Structure 1
Amino acid sequence: MTDALTRIRAAFADAGVTGRLHALDIDTGAQLDEGADQPVCTASVHKLCLLVALHREAAAGRLDLTERVDCPPDARTKGPTGLAVMLDSARLSLRDLAYLMIAVSDNAAADLLLGRVGLDTVNAATDRLGLTRTRAVHTFGEMLATLKEDAGPGGAGALTDPHVIARLRALDPARTNRSTPREMTRLLAAVWRDEAGTAEHCAAMRRLLALQVWPHRLASGFPFDDVHVAGKTGTLPTVRNEVGVVEYPDGGRYAVAVFTRTANPAAALPAADAVIGTAARLAVDGLRARQATG
């Protein structure tokens, strides 16, 4: 395990990021920790918490996942994907909004669901699972509004200025949606062990997480046809995250959470994206090697 941690730290350094990681063997409890209890801003990774809350509410009969919601274009949260960039009115079920929220990280879909579920319910769901350091503070629209406000008159262009980045509330775990890598792997393990809800609802959540379209972070570390990766990304200026579960054909199941920060404010940093997959692969290899040697 020490060798795996050494290689993970070297990979983070080579990619120019500060990395926090936790990897957990879902079935044996073996784990690997690199700053796993440090608070981190979750960004869109927090949509996983919303997904769990949504399904817990459905399981309790407090909402129906087939309930349809109007999605007027003039009231949608901004974002680069899904409903957030569509131009026409739409009417979608809660479960289809959840698909967009997870598969393409649609901010508009997420906030429509939050409007139905509520932040307090999201926090109650994580509290019930013992995730006391995981907290939803604001909607995704509100988080984006803090970016705009904190950037000041320079607008989006100011987000390349280190002094501006330093004051962004969205990057401060004390003032934004937050968790720790260890709590995120605990949440994933609860979904995969059917402990985050009923077996039917946990299976539905696993299905959505497996439909995420982004291959450039966690999945990039496991380019094998017989290894299955399901996860959720999160991105903000200087922040690249992903949490997910890696499943091997021999039955091994590993929850991995990787949260990174870089001093480089560029939107395109392929090495910073790829190191999430590299670090995850090193962590899972370390866990598997330990199991093989008894």
Structure 2
Amino acid sequence: MSGAATGAVRTRLRAVFADAGVTGQLHALDLDSGAEVGIGADSLVSTASTHKLCLAVTVQRLADTKALDPTEQVEVPVDGRTPGGTGVAMLRDPVRMSLRDLLALALTVSDNAAADVLYDRVGLAGVNRAMTELGLTRTLAVHTGRDLLATIDEDCGGDQARLLVDPGLTTRLRVLDPERTNRSTPRELTRLLAALWHDEACTPERAAELRSMLAHQVWPHRLASGFPFDDVRVSGKTGTLPTLRHEVGVVEYPDGGRYAVAVFTRAARTAANQPAADAAIGTAARLAVESLRVPPGRGA
């Protein structure tokens, strides 16, 4: 793609984010040619639940070395369970299931409780070590899910409802500051996705397992909204915190084209529902991917 074409795409991407009332960072990568486009691709971002992808890769790498048995059955008690609105986190009774099933819930429905069982098992240091081994030196896990929720509560003085009516309060939230919470860059997360799709993040069998889980994520309102076609497959992981709406994933076309995309947004509004931001993620991803799809015979 020429410099002029890249500049035009970036202008359109900025307009999409501005129209939605958000600031945005994006990186899109052709998994086969290496062509790329981005805005703020190397900016540190607060990853929110997209960091569960790093956790998932770590679990699979440990399973590869037999340091962890993914079929091990574990009890998830009610007491001490990380709260959340999906999966095990929302259940009222003790649950017993395998580590790999907990991993599936952490990815497909972003289950905080399931993810924290895995975080407790592998450790934040273990996740960070795995990312370093993969060359992702700016990707760092600082908080588990329960840690994230606890810091929000502390920073709000125990009254999280104030976040919806007091925009100034968000400036105090550590979870929104990439220097003080789980963090990465859009480029590093597309590199992680590339390693996963190229069977380099873990063994081919376990990489395929993770790809399948990501393809079964239930949320269609962000990345997938930009590709409403039956023959285009979107596999992704969302991330959500006050004012933050993110998704990272891979878009696969029937002609074999494969594109890793990471989109991070922050809204000025503090509303719990941010449909414009959600839609902007899909629109921006589509524009970025389309810019990388060169029609046959036209060259780069």
**Counterpart-to-counterpart distance in 2, 1:232 and 1:37:** 19
**Counterpart-to-counterpart distance in 1, 2:237 and 2:297:** 29
| Equivalent residue in structure 1 for 2:68, among 63, 80, 103 | 63
Residue 181 to residue 290, structure 1, CA distance change in 2 (3 Å): farther
| Equivalent residue in structure 1 for 2:42, among 29, 37, 40 | 37
The aligned counterpart of 1:158 is 162
**Counterpart-to-counterpart distance in 1, 2:102 and 2:193:** 20
CA deviation after TM superposition for structure 1 residue 156, in Å:
1.4
SS state at 1:289 partner? coil
The residue type equivalent to 1:107 in the other structure is N
Residue 239 to residue 291, structure 1, CA distance change in 2 (3 Å): farther
The residue type equivalent to 1:144 in the other structure is L
SS state at 2:236 partner? strand
Residue 292 to residue 76, structure 1, CA distance change in 2 (3 Å): farther
The aligned counterpart of 1:223 is 228
**Counterpart-to-counterpart distance in 2, 1:292 and 1:113:** 48
- Pairing 1:235-250 to 2, within 5 Å after superposition: 235-250=240-255
SS state at 1:214 partner? coil
The aligned counterpart of 1:214 is 219
**Counterpart-to-counterpart distance in 1, 2:255 and 2:197:** 16
| Equivalent residue in structure 1 for 2:143, among 138, 141, 147 | 138
For residues 218-243 of structure 1, the C-alpha deviation after alignment (integer angstroms, 9 at most, x for no partner) is 00000000000000000000000000
**Counterpart-to-counterpart distance in 2, 1:152 and 1:225:** 47
| Equivalent residue in structure 2 for 1:276, among 269, 278, 281 | 281
The aligned counterpart of 2:104 is 99
* Alignment partner of 1:126 is 2:119: no
The aligned counterpart of 1:167 is 172
The aligned counterpart of 2:3 is none
For residues 176-232 of structure 1, the C-alpha deviation after alignment (integer angstroms, 9 at most, x for no partner) is 000000000000000000010111111111011111000000000000000000000
**Counterpart-to-counterpart distance in 2, 1:135 and 1:241:** 17
List 4+ stretches of structure 1 deviating above 2 A: 289-293
SS state at 2:202 partner? coil
Residue 116 to residue 9, structure 1, CA distance change in 2 (3 Å): same
For residues 62-91 of structure 1, the C-alpha deviation after alignment (integer angstroms, 9 at most, x for no partner) is 111100110111221011111111001110
- Pairing 1:81-96 to 2, within 5 Å after superposition: 81-96=86-101
For residues 112-152 of structure 1, the C-alpha deviation after alignment (integer angstroms, 9 at most, x for no partner) is 01111111110011001100000000111011100000001
The aligned counterpart of 1:19 is 24
CA deviation after TM superposition for structure 1 residue 291, in Å:
7.3
**Counterpart-to-counterpart distance in 1, 2:193 and 2:274:** 27
**Counterpart-to-counterpart distance in 1, 2:57 and 2:81:** 22
Residue 290 to residue 7, structure 1, CA distance change in 2 (3 Å): farther
More helix by share: 1
What is the aligned residue count? Answer: 293
SS state at 1:76 partner? coil
TM-score when normalising by structure 2: 0.96
* Structure 1: 5+ residue stretches without partners: none
The aligned counterpart of 2:210 is 205
* Same amino acid, percent of matched pairs: 64
